[in-house]
Structure 1
């Protein structure tokens, strides 16, 4: 009996990967989805027809780590996977795309060389400066003493960043010189991020509203997704330590269509063209973390993949076939694809384990998932979860991402929080202000 459709492999284990698997499994071209390593939410049976909440194709979690490129490649060969989609940054940094391409397998994501736009903040800042892309004034340091001397004579608030990958936690927003010195010592002397902190970027602190602008890219053409706003700090009012992201909503009402066009023209397109000129064309999702200042948008950082939790807020609004758009990127025909979006907004609230963003306990039972999942226009995306003795338990820092649709961000947020109220695990942390500052 012949195959009915395509087999898709999603690499990663977080809420982003659950959302990607859910979105891809809605495509009528898909026969089965595999998520490696996945989580407690990334396995489900086939459905007779796609719905807003339940995709058509079945999904299965595969116990292969996202960084285990060799075994992922072997699995893709053995299962005749038609397309692999990379979620997190770590396998991109390891060259998973290069390895799959060398084996003649289709994979969506930038090569190791193109992923440097995320894996080296120093590289990205230099690229922005050379391409005229607006970004904060900065200096790059490889030596702790030189960096300390610089901050001691530099007035004003600064941001100190580990240049390499630090799980979204490598940036320190410093109000005082003492805070900047302490950040440098933690990164370069105490090596809290290991090799990722051997080089640091010190930049001026910008004031304004942050924005996440993600786009599909086929090496030349840029197709923006809905603008989103992510909340990195642990506590309400953007206070507390940085995290991988405590919630997001999309679209943002303070970004008009002409603003979006300008950002694509002055930021995303120049970056894509610069990567092509370097001989490392970018194919995948390019994510610009922006600050909307009084002087216009400035780039805080580039990422080389879907954001988390931005993906969980954007993908429920996508009416188009995600697989079709991804294949257009791989085939260099993205310019002929028009993305369709559901009117309204989506808000995502992240539920974190006690102790996050530091060490967290694992194995805490999670209650109320079924009740939340039954709610209309609510999606429960798993992240740090696992199954133990038939129960879903915590298995990481960010445990769940609860997304909800509404006609506007505030209504969407209220629905998301109504779903959150049905879920419980010991020490559960979450912000209570995601999307609620927006006008109705």
Structure 2
């Protein structure tokens, strides 16, 4: 089968690798140097739904899988389906679950999906007044797409005012911050719960945990994700069943009732609080770097399950998973998540041992592999236990070097505590 992967990051590298492992011919648009080792990359001058459609026709794609959120919100699925091509992902209407934080929160309120108390503001003055209705710390969110950087946790009024000014001015996340949500801050442990969905049915993937802050101990500004691990111990079976029923399936039923049936990867960012499961946000695609850890655990059935979802036979699909755990440690460029320096030479990937190295922001220049984005590499490994997976990932990372590289040294530490309790 010819499969087209849309995107160019670490998530797309992991998807291309998994599809190739299952025996398919894989293409990626636009791809990256790492993806080119397992798939044929097709460069694009512009990344519009029409240009992706042209690529799919050129390669006679039997299936297209969309990685990032931007093409989904732009209507790539609608465009493909209007021309009779098979594609996996939500329509533009359904992708609003991620495209607008305000829509997502209001949807959750309408359908009884547990989430934080919130208010939406369209201008700076009203938002500053609205802060008085919340306690500190308080959460500020850009309404639009912000590549994982549109959330600020403000500990004081001064911090909140500074963040609001940055959001509404466009300095922090551009146009995505022209509308802002203020919501209550919850204490607890974050969990990423992702399911493969087809309108009213879903197959849950193993739970994962991302690490958003740039520095160890969850300090520093938010990023797109500095590492993740996948381990069944993250949630009990009872918790998994509850989340599948009360979050995922309730969302599917709600979207269908509003005339926006959802097919694709549905990602629920959760907070496990003393009062139960609460939904922080929805994404309408696989997470990054969660995907790297997830797809290393899948041994077979990834493509077949996606095909089953596109053919309304999802309940008959089966994913074959490895036992144990997997972990991904992100290596980021100098300056990330602020102004990123690119063009630093990368060395040592060939000596990464048992670890898989997924490329996120790399380029070939003057015959050398160099940094080309904020998150550069995702060093990923599996093991019989989480500790073994982490050891292998960090050993692999230790062989790699580029000037200014940043990485967290505490990926998975919360998960390790579950092995001693």
TM-score, length-scaled by structure 2: 0.97
Deviations 1:389-436 (A, max 9, x none): 332111111000000101121221111000000000001100000013
- The 3 A distance-change label for structure 1 pair 191 and 259 is same
Task: Say which of 83, 94, 100 aligns to 1:114.
Answer: 94
Between the aligned partners of 2:88 and 2:42, the Cα distance in structure 1 is 19
Task: Say which of 289, 297, 301 aligns to 2:269.
Answer: 289
Match of 2:321 in 1: 341
Between the aligned partners of 1:358 and 1:67, the Cα distance in structure 2 is 24
Is the CA contact 2:134–2:183 (under 8 Å) kept in the aligned structure 1? no
Match of 1:419 in 2: 396
Match of 2:10 in 1: 15
Match of 1:59 in 2: 39
Please state if 1:100 is matched with 2:80: yes
Match of 1:269 in 2: 249
Match of 1:402 in 2: 379
1:19-98 paired onto structure 2 within 5 Å: 19-28=14-23, 30=24, 32-44=25-37, 58-64=38-44, 67-98=47-78
Deviations 1:312-369 (A, max 9, x none): 0111001222110100111111111122210000010000000001122222111101
Between the aligned partners of 1:323 and 1:65, the Cα distance in structure 2 is 28
Please state if 1:203 is matched with 2:177: no
**SS of the counterpart of 2:320?**
coil
Moved over 4 A (4+): none
Task: Say which of 347, 351, 358 aligns to 1:367.
Answer: 347
Match of 1:251 in 2: 231
Match of 1:242 in 2: 222
Match of 1:183 in 2: 163
Unmatched runs of 5 consecutive residues or more in structure 2: none
What root-mean-square deviation, in Å, do the aligned CA atoms of Structure 1 and Structure 2 show?
1.3
Higher-helix-fraction structure: 2
Match of 2:293 in 1: 313
Between the aligned partners of 1:240 and 1:280, the Cα distance in structure 2 is 37
Q: How many residues are paired up?
A: 417
Between the aligned partners of 1:25 and 1:87, the Cα distance in structure 2 is 16
- Of stretches 134-143 and 345-354 in structure 1, the one that deviates more from structure 2 is 134-143
Unmatched runs of 5 consecutive residues or more in structure 1: 1-5, 45-57
Question: What's the CA shift for 1:71?
Answer: 1.7
Is the CA contact 2:214–2:222 (under 8 Å) kept in the aligned structure 1? yes
Between the aligned partners of 1:301 and 1:70, the Cα distance in structure 2 is 29
Between the aligned partners of 2:133 and 2:384, the Cα distance in structure 1 is 50
Question: What's the CA shift for 1:193?
Answer: 2.2
Match of 2:212 in 1: 232
TM-score, length-scaled by structure 1: 0.92
- The 3 A distance-change label for structure 1 pair 153 and 284 is closer
Deviations 1:23-73 (A, max 9, x none): 111223x2x2111111110112xxxxxxxxxxxxx5111112673322211
Question: What's the CA shift for 1:146?
Answer: 0.9
